[in-house]
């Protein structure tokens, strides 16, 4: 009697609801498989090594996960979300379907915006590390600002792109971006005028090459073999000691190239 009652109840369930339920089950399976595949692909292309040491990765590890895990989870949930929309459409629930159809048109844009924000944060952190490493040898107080400027410039661009994807009017933000760039150029020129001057001198020496690696030169009281040249300094070795001569000193005081 009870078995017959259960069959009768199940028989009253419309076929479209069973199809919707099956769609959800398939969506869960596909979302889980997509998550695993995304994790493997991200590891295969070297994402963990590329973002190692970034602030985002350190924060993710504090919460017991990783950047790769977060990205893979987002991709998996996106696939499951598509399955939910498909199930609602199959079930033909009128008011719910209208709501989900409106959301479905917005979901891909939201997904792309979230991915852009995450990659913007990762790229900004990586740019900060690269700039810090590049200018680590310069003993100028203004240099410490450069990594932060580079980092937040990348952040701002990522936010601008993400907001544009979700339909937010970005005209005012673009104006602010132009003002931000102008402020960086103007104030940066004032703050880093000595650094820019040294860089200009280094560029002149590198382009004209009045001396090259292996030449013996004398700059002031320093005489030795040129070991390395970059935009700001020249490394000269003499008697087992290495002298780091600022290029600005080479330009202002002059140098003597010793011919053997």
Q: pLDDT tens digits, residue range 86-96?
A: 777 777 665 55
| pLDDT above 60 for 97 | no
Nearest Cα residue to 162 out of 104, 119, 112 = 112
% of the chain residues with pLDDT over 70: 77
pLDDT score recorded for residue 187? 63
Per the confidence metrics, is the pTM higher than 0.85? no
Mean pLDDT score of the chain, rounded to an integer? Answer: 76
Averaged over 158-183, what is the pLDDT?
A: 74
pLDDT(121) > 60: yes
Above pLDDT 90, what percent of the chain? 1
pLDDT, greater one: 90 or 188:
90
d(CA 55, CA 121): 9
CA angle 225, 228, 232 (to 5 degrees): 120
Integer Cα distance of 91 and 215 in angstroms? 81
- Is 166's pLDDT higher than 60? yes
Its CATH architecture, for the domain 211-258, is: Roll (2.30)
pLDDT of 150 strictly over 70 = yes
Domains of the chain, residue spans: 14-191, 211-258
Give 190-235 pLDDT, tens digit per residue.
656 666 677 777 778 777 888 888 888 888 888 888 888 877 788 8
Joined together, the tokens standing for residue 66 give 């990783």
């Amino acid at each position: 009697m009870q078995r017959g009652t259960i069959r009768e109840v199940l028989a009253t369930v419309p076929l479209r609801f069973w199809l919707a339920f099956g769609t959800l089950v398939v969506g869960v399976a596909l979302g889980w498989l997509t998550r695993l595949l995304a994790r493997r692909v991200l590891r295969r292309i070297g994402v963990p090594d590329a973002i190692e040491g970034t602030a985002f990765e350190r924060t993710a590890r504090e919460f017991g996960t990783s950047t790769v895990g977060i990205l893979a989870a987002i991709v998996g949930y996106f696939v499951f979300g598509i399955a939910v929309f498909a199930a609602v459409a199959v079930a033909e629930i009128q008011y719910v379907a209208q709501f989900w159809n409106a959301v479905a048109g917005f979901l891909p844009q939201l997904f792309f915006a979230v991915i852009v924000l995450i990659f913007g944060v990762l790229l900004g952190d990586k740019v900060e590390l690269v700039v810090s490493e590049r200018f680590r040898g310069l003993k100028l107080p203004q240099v410490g600002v450069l990594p932060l400027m580079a980092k937040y410039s990348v952040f701002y661009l990522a936010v601008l792109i993400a907001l544009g994807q979700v339909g937010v009017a970005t005209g005012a933000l673009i104006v602010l971006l132009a003002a931000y760039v102008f402020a960086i150029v103007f104030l940066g020129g004032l703050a880093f005028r000595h650094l820019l001057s040294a860089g200009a001198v280094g560029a002149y020496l590198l382009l004209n090459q009045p001396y090259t690696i292996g030449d013996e030169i004398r700059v002031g009281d320093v005489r030795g073999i040129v070991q390395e040249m970059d935009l700001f300094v020249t490394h000269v070795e003499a008697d087992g000691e290495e002298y780091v001569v600022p290029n600005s000193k080479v330009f202002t005081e002059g140098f003597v190239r010793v011919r053997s």
